[in-house]
Amino acid sequence: ITRTRLCSLDPALQTVGRAGRPSLDKMIPMWYHKSMRLINKETDYAVRSLVHMGEKGAGTLSVSDMEAAVNVSRPFLRKILQKLNKAGVLKSQKGRAGGFKLARPLERITLSEVREVFQGPLKTENCLFGVRLCHDYKTCLLRRKMRDIEGRLARELGAITIESLAK
């Protein structure tokens, strides 16, 4: 993604800095968002499912009970719940009265934990300038700053509980 293309995407990026170029303070968040994908669709639906389970109480809920509330197809929801079960966030129960229930209270489940189940650790792996092979990977000043931002963001996500999102 070039600077010109980025600036044309969002009017807020039209701010001009030195030498008539768009201001980097407006562009960096856009690059970072494009390269990180902070929360994907699976993570979003997983959080919605957990919030719904918390609202319904400590009992076991079937996938069909949650399907309408979470507004997602049954097969996709089942896949999400199975991943959460494998990660120890949920417990599954088989049989006629089967389904899923919370493995622990919502105040002990963080957004960071749920995000990692579906997206892995929080980090940018691509060059923020869109260069395929970066020659300055180890010495890139922007990359060091982005690593600092990633650390702060990871701490913030780790402090957000699913319970706090349900309020």
Q: Give the pLDDT confidence of 123-142 residue by residue, as tens digits.
A: 766 666 666 666 666 677 77
CB atoms within 10 A of CB 152: 9
Q: Given this model, what pLDDT does residue 134 score?
A: 64
pTM of the model: 0.71
Q: Given this model, what pLDDT does residue 125 score?
A: 63
What is the mean predicted confidence (pLDDT) over 3-31? 42
CB atoms within 10 A of CB 102: 22
3-state secondary structure of 99: strand
Q: Give the up-direction half-sphere exposure of residue 136: CA atoms within 13 A in the CB hemisphere.
A: 11
The DSSP bridge partners found for residue 22 are 16
The amino acid that residue 91 corresponds to is K
**DSSP code of 95?**
S
CA pair distance 26, 13, nearest whole angstrom: 6
99 burial level (CB within 10 Å; 0-12, 13-18, 19+): buried
| Residue owning tokens 């006629």 | 96
37: left (phi > 0), else alpha (psi -120 to 50), else beta? left
Does 156 score more than 60 pLDDT?
Answer: yes
CA pair distance 125, 112, nearest whole angstrom: 18
Q: Given this model, what pLDDT does residue 124 score?
A: 66
The DSSP bridge partners found for residue 61 are 100
